Amino acid sequence: MTDELWPSEVFRAAVEVFGPTVYNLDGRMRKTLDRGIAAVMARWRQRYEMNLAQDDYAAKLLLWAVGQAKKGDRPLPYFIGVLHSLVNDERAHAGFTARAGYVDVSAQIREAVGS
C-alpha cells in the first residue's frame, strides 16, 4: 500500500491516468482524489464494516473507477462522478454483501413487526 487510503495498484493506475501530479501530496489533483476516495471508503466502511474480502473488493472497484476515468474528456471530474455512482450501485452493494456472508433480512423483520 502507498498509504492507508490508496491501495498500491490503484495508485499506480491513477498515476497512469492522471499523470505525475498524483505524487504531489499538496497538489489540487491529489487532494481531490484523496477526498473522493476517502468519502466512498467512509461510506462503505459505515455500511459494511469492511472485512478483508470487502477491502479487496473496494480496491477492485476503485481500480475500475480509475480505468473508467480514461473515457472522459476531463478524467478527474469523470472519476469523481464514477465514485459517487458506486456508492449507491446495486451491483457494488451485492458484491460487498456477498463477500461478508451477509444476508439481508430487513424485509422479513418488517413483515414480522408489521411495518
- d(CA 97, CA 101) in angstroms, rounded, equals 6
Tens-place pLDDT, residues 43-83: 999 998 888 889 999 999 999 999 999 888 899 999 999 99
Share of the chain above pLDDT 90, in %: 65
What residue ranges do the domains of the chain occupy?
8-113
Tens-place pLDDT, residues 30-46: 999 999 999 999 999 99
- For residue 115, the model assigns a pLDDT of 57
* Best CA proximity match to 9, nearest among 62, 55, 53, 51: 62
Residue bearing cell 451485492: 94
